[in-house]
Amino acid sequence: MRSLLISSFTAFTALTMFAVTATPVLAEGTILTVTGQIEKTNREAFDPFFDGFLKFHDKTFEKAYTFDWDTLAALPQHTVTVNADTEDWPGPLAMEGPLLKDVLATAGASGATTTLYALDGFGLEMSAEKMDSRDWVLAMKVEGEPLGIGGFGPLWLVYDTGGRKAPEEEERSWVWSVFHIEVK
């Protein structure tokens, strides 16, 4: 009986460990920092030690509004179909996340231009006209799965192509691995 109990416990433990490691784990803490011309703030000014990655990218600020996974997920979510005319694009993909304008409104953004920065330092500056030209989404999920660091996450700027293949030059505006937005 004791060996059956130990075997059952071992099997349960192994199954539990598999379930825990097979489930995507979303990191707690900040995944997006909005700085610059914003009215709202929910954190202190730049700290060279605790903001090491922003420091690495030469980004400093007096005020910022930060979002974690839950605060972004609490904003109205929009699902869009995204497709691109590039060689390695797998076909239409369902992507989900809040509208960029809702994220900026939450921070009280008021600038004329917005620059979205990727983890590798790439920055895409968008004028107010470009931002108004489409319903830009900061995708948090692709095909129902959270985006992760090392892939296209934490956030991927996209818009709905309605299933049609967007030309490669348009796809270049789809900044992936977005972690910082600066409003000027």
Domain boundaries, position 114: 27-183
CA distance 64 to 59: 11
Q: How many domains does the chain have?
A: 1
pLDDT > 90? residue 104: yes
**pLDDT given at position 11:** 39
162 Cβ partners below 8 Å, 6+ apart? 81
| Domain assignment present for 15 | no
| Domain assignment present for 2 | no
| Domain assignment present for 49 | yes
* Strand pairing report for 141-142 and 93-98: antiparallel
Query: pLDDT confidence of 85, banded at 50, 70, 90?
Result: confident
Angle (CA) 45-47-51 rounded to 5° is 110
pLDDT > 60? residue 29: yes
* Residue 183: closest CA among 14, 36, 10, 8: 36
Q: Span 97-101, mean pLDDT?
A: 98
Q: Which residue has the higher pLDDT, 98 or 89?
A: 98
| Domain assignment present for 58 | yes
| Domain assignment present for 4 | no
Query: For residue range 134-184, what is the model confidence (pLDDT) as tens digits?
Result: 999 999 999 999 999 988 999 999 999 888 888 777 777 899 999 999 999
**pLDDT given at position 93:** 93
Surface-to-core class of residue 73, CB atoms within 10 Å of its CB (0-12 exposed, 13-18 middle, 19+ buried): middle
Name the DSSP letter for residue 102.
H
| Domain assignment present for 127 | yes
pLDDT > 70? residue 20: no
Q: What is the dihedral of CA 140, 141, 146, 150, to 10 degrees?
A: -70
pLDDT > 50? residue 69: yes
CATH number at residue 55: 3.90.420.10
Computed over its alpha carbons, how large is the radius of gyration of the chain? 20
| Domain assignment present for 20 | no
| Domain assignment present for 150 | yes
- Percentage of residues in the chain having pLDDT higher than 70: 85
